[in-house]
Amino acid sequence: MRVITEDRHAINQAAISRAALTIVHRLREAGFDAYLVGGAVRDLLINGKPKDFDIATSATPEQTKALFRSARIIGRRFQIVHVRQGREIIEVTTYRGHHTSDDAKPSTSKQSDKGLLLRDNVYGSLEDDAKRRDLTVNAMYYDPDNETILDQQSGLEDIEARLIRIIGNPVTRYQEDPVRMLRVVRFSARLQFDIESNTADAIATCAPLLNEIPSARLFDEFLKLFMSGHAHSTFLLLCDYHLLAYLISGAAECVAEDAPSKTLVKAAMGNTDARVRQNRPVTPAFLLAAMLWPAVRHRSDALQQAGEAPNQAINSAGQQVSAETCLRLAIPKRFSIPMREIWEMQPKLEARKSKQILNIMSQRRFRAAYDLLLLREQAGATLDHCGDFWTEQQRLHPDVVGSAPDKEQFKSRRKPRQRNRQ
């Protein structure tokens, strides 16, 4: 185990959350090991600004829970403890150990026939834990008392070489948890690090294992991939590694193969990243609407050629693409409904019927639909200056935009009354 002393790293203690320090100290006072670990140590070393703080400890989840009134044990596949300190929630994980045939208890260790770890709750030592983490740069342990870093997997060397490297045999590690492939791409894009060659090469053979991941977990990962300010570079890497199809299936081909579609999606990603940087709100509904638009348009064109009217064709195409995507990516209704509304407004915006102008502009989804229309034009769609038309209408009627009553709120207000009547 390499020990990096205070004089050989630049971690600034002042950048560490007080809540995390308090939890480390409390665990240590109770006689357990406790270190800051993972993303926090990595980010403290790279840019001094961690997003959140994770703690690794020798205490079991039950022992941790007993020490903190605000602690909750969560997760089944991988149990962790959430400890709330003021406004912060700190994740505390027990050192993971190796799975052997002796760990027969299905509540602690369970593996599918393809090697997927369905339960990863076998506990071990710090050395075991370091081997079970995903990437070398995520496997450093920081001791805030004597300010040393324990670095068994040469994470610091990889930070200096700007490399993302999986720990252990890449094929085995991807088989145990295929989401690690998405994490490799995510951290490479976010940190602008290269992917070490063995870590990269195994992705081609292991990628189909992503089909085994539950759609809810994939949606969580989708949010981390695209809503954290690095969507554009992440998207390009996912295309390079042919991983996009495992997130958005059939629609991915439209995006990856066809240059205008790719331009549209890249523009949407760029917009989202800019908004994240400016601390403006972003919604996955808009990003999904843009990513899946090429597939919806493709489907809708075919339906129109078969005789369907434009509005009907978009509605049916949207319904199909949304249903197919949800099989793989569990998009919650609060995002899939607005996504479809954004699509359904496109033919209405293109038609520019004078009697409908104010009504269209008053709708809640107008701004997002108009933004998608502009992106489509930027990406080369010939819509006869339709974007300019709606820009001018907003200038003429600034108070109308989004002024219609919110139908969903209205519905949800009525629900309790209906229940009372039963």
Residues that bind Mg ion (CB under 5 A): 39, 52, 54
Helix (H) or strand (E) holding 36: strand 34-37
Binding of ligand ATP at residue 133 (CB under 6 A)?
Answer: yes
Q: Which two tokens stand for residue 293?
A: 């638009």
Of 64, 79, 94, 138, the one binding ligand ATP by CB under 6 A:
138
Structure tokens at 273: 């990243």
Nearer CB in complex with ligand ATP: 190/328:
190
Q: Is 179 in the site for ligand ATP (CB under 6 A)?
A: yes
39 sits near ligand ATP (criterion: CB under 6 A): yes
What's the token pair of residue 110?
Answer: 């369970």
State the amino acid at position 324 in one-letter form: E
Residue 198 CB, shortest distance to ligand ATP, in Å, is 17
Q: Residue 132 is encoded by which pair of tokens? A: 């079970």
Q: What is the DSSP string of 321-350?
A: HHHHHHHHS---HHHHHHHHHHHHHHHHHH
Is residue 52 part of the annotated active site? The answer reads: yes
Smallest distance from the beta carbon of 266 to ligand ATP, in angstroms? Answer: 23
Is 97 one of the binding residues for ligand ATP (CB under 6 A)? Answer: no
Burial class (CB in 10 A: 0-12, 13-18, 19+), 22: middle
158 binds ligand ATP (CB under 6 A): no
Cβ distance to ligand ATP smaller for residue 186 or 297: 186
Of 43, 120, 134, 158, catalytic: 134
Count other C-beta atoms under 10 Å from residue 215's C-beta. Answer: 14
At 189 the three-state DSSP class reads helix
Query: Shortest approach of ligand ATP to residue 151 CB, angstroms?
Result: 13
Least distance in Å: CB of 87 to ligand ATP?
17
Name the DSSP letter for residue 247. H
Q: Any catalytic annotation for residue 134? A: yes
CB 305 to ligand ATP: min, Å: 45
Which residue among 52, 103, 143, 371 is the active-site one?
52
Q: Which of 54, 151, 196, 341 binds ligand ATP (CB under 6 A)?
A: 54
Query: How would you class 36 by CB atoms within 10 Å of its CB: exposed for 0-12, middle for 13-18, buried for 19 or more?
Result: buried
Nearest alpha-carbon partner for 406 in 317, 341, 331: 341
Residue 144 burial by Cβ neighbours in a 10 Å radius (0-12, 13-18, 19+) = middle
- Interface pick for ligand ATP out of 99, 119, 165, 180 (rule CB under 6 A): 180
- Quick check: is 103 catalytic? no
The reply on whether position 49 binds ligand ATP by CB under 6 A is no
Residue 38 engages ligand ATP in binding (rule: CB under 6 A): yes
Q: Catalogue the active-site residues.
A: 52, 54, 134
* Residues near ligand ATP (CB under 6 A): 38-39, 51-52, 54, 133-134, 138-139, 177, 179-180
